[in-house]
Amino acid sequence: MTELATKAVVRDAAMGLSTARALHPSTVNSPVVAAGSLLNIEQLSVADVAGILATTTRLQAMNAAERARLLAGRTIALLFYESSTRTRTSFELAAKSLGAMTTLVSDKSSSIEKGETLKDTGLTLRALGAEAIILRHPASGAPELLARVTGLPILNAGDGMHQHPSQALLDLRTILLRLGKDPGTVDSKTLAGVTVAIVGDISHSRVARSNAQLLPRLGARVILCGPVELLPKTALGLDPHEGSPLEIARDFDSTLGQSDVVMMLRIQKERLAGVSLDLAGYVERYQLGVERLAAYAPKALVMHPGPIIRGLEITGEVADGAQAAIELQVAQGLAVRRAVLLRAFGVQV
């Protein structure tokens, strides 16, 4: 075995996974995933999404003291195997604002560093009283494994290149707010007539996948735009076909010209193994700068899940400009994650 392969096996064993990248459900124990888990966006019906957004709106209308009673005395663990600023902080603040007690376990400061498996870490957290776990992990499928071994509600805060369901929900709420639609009521026609472009490193992006699965179900047309290195023909396993609400485009300018919303994505350097990309050429063809935006999409809403690499996929001027909704997205992260946490505990408001 090469040194690299040995390392991969050790790493997989440490995660308690038989294959690190794609975990098949048959490799895990329990058939039962606790209700209230949020593992992927596809598990939510349009009615479920509408329910989460309606709860978000009701929570926003409450005062802080009322909100703080909703999960008082409950314990929530945040288990993070990849770095995060927005997702971790907003989940943590959301949980605290509902009155819950939180604890953070990250790979840098725990027995994970010593090789403890995901399963054992999960069981340990459960034994310590965690009633729900928010998990970020580099392996697709890790949240499902944790859900099955612990029986606890698990909230997926990003798993590998797979899913980031709460990000798609917060992006949806941001779009609704900025397009002047009622964020508390959605159905399968809410985004009819709205074109959303998702641009850049599509193939490595769990944000792109979750949004591309959610937005068409509310009526949106979604254009995935990027170079072939970052957006192969069969993108995200979603397989756009004629007549489907998903399209693939290579030309950014013409895509911009058709879009009401443009979601820019970071080039995920940490996941680029084996991809050769000419960065200067990429910037020329796909960077969103003021001139391009003014020329092709002077009214479009500009979004980005963060972290932004200013000067690469987007210029600082656009990121800070009036068309950008990047901070609004972050704020919606806090709002929507409160609703997702209440759902995990089966608490209605």
* Interface contacts to ligand ASP, rule CB under 6 A: 83-88, 158, 164, 206-207, 266, 268, 305-307
Q: How far is the CB of 189 from ligand ASP (least distance, A)?
A: 29
Question: Can you tell me the distance from the alpha carbon of 341 to that of 144, in angstroms, rounded to the nearest whole number?
Answer: 17
Confirm if 157 and 84 have CB atoms less than 8 A apart.
yes
Quick one: which H or E segment has residue 311?
none
Confirm if 225 and 85 have CB atoms less than 8 A apart.
no
Tokens read off for 292 = 């391009």
Q: How far is the CB of 242 from ligand ASP (least distance, A)?
A: 30
Of residues 86 and 126, the one with the C-beta less far from ligand ASP: 86
Question: Can you tell me the distance from the alpha carbon of 121 to that of 188, in angstroms, rounded to the nearest whole number?
Answer: 40
Of residues 171 and 260, the one with the C-beta less far from ligand ASP: 171
Of residues 115 and 307, the one with the C-beta less far from ligand ASP: 307
Amino acid identity at 166: S
Q: How far is the CB of 236 from ligand ASP (least distance, A)?
A: 13
Of residues 86 and 285, the one with the C-beta less far from ligand ASP: 86
Q: How far is the CB of 129 from ligand ASP (least distance, A)?
A: 26
DSSP tag of 151? -
- The burial of 30, by beta-carbon neighbours within 10 Å (0-12 exposed, 13-18 middle, 19 or more buried), is given as exposed
Of residues 41 and 149, the one with the C-beta less far from ligand ASP: 41
Q: How far is the CB of 304 from ligand ASP (least distance, A)?
A: 9
Alpha helix segments (H runs only) across the chain: 3-15, 46-61, 64-67, 86-97, 118-127, 142-150, 165-178, 206-214, 252-257, 279-286, 290-296, 316-319, 326-344
Question: Can you tell me the distance from the alpha carbon of 139 to that of 118, in angstroms, rounded to the nearest whole number?
Answer: 11
Of residues 307 and 316, the one with the C-beta less far from ligand ASP: 307
Of residues 23 and 208, the one with the C-beta less far from ligand ASP: 208
Q: How far is the CB of 306 from ligand ASP (least distance, A)?
A: 5
Q: How far is the CB of 341 from ligand ASP (least distance, A)?
A: 16
